[in-house]
Amino acid sequence: MQIIPAIDFKDGKVVNLKQGQLEQSTTYSDDPVGMADHWVSLGTERLHLVDLDGAFEGKPVNQEAIERIARNHPSLTIQIGGGIRSAAIIEGYLNAGVNQVIIGTKAVEEPEFVGEMCRQFPGHIIVGLDGLHGMVAKNGWKEVTDISVKSLAMLFQSDGIESIVYTDIGKDGMMGGVNLKATKDLAKSVSVPIIASGGVSEMRDIE
């Protein structure tokens, strides 16, 4: 198992949103680059970055801080999500030193895009599936679809994705533990690695 700290960017700050709600935001730091330095000093080998502004606007917003983190820590594995909806954006992040990009909304709206990007950027594509009661949400979680998380995961596993980041929206940002059953069911249904996201707040969640 690998523990991956997450840094969520909003307006250039490190924040936490409860269940993705902008009006329920807590700011932890005004220095996201310093926060990355902190995690690296504690021994992390992989970092999960989320451009929340990008997720809501549909295009990257916090590239400058993300690129600085990559430059400061060239040996750190970095995965980035939020507003990644074109090959040009993916190529830009990879050229900046990011290792994996997370396709979320675009994967739901245009599933064939995932396969195309896996062929163009093999080994660098992660799919982000955000679920509420087992159904996929998109556009910064503003819209819940009638597509199940499990069915999309099974569709994408044959495309050559590196892994799936699965976030249970009902747990995210609540600091109340993970949705173990849903995460375990998803992991059993596909052959690609599952990264559990949302609600991890203490050692027993990891255990």
Catalytic residues: 8, 130
Residue 46 CB contacts under 8 Å (≥ 6 apart), including other chains: 2, 4, 76, 77, 78, 79
**Distance separating alpha carbons of residues 145 and 22, to the nearest angstrom:** 20
DSSP 20: G
* Dihedral angle sign, alpha carbons of residues 109, 127, 121, 97: positive
Q: What is the DSSP string of 45-105?
A: SEEEEEEHHHHHHTS---HHHHHHHHHH-TTSEEEEESS--SHHHHHHHHHTT--EEEE-H
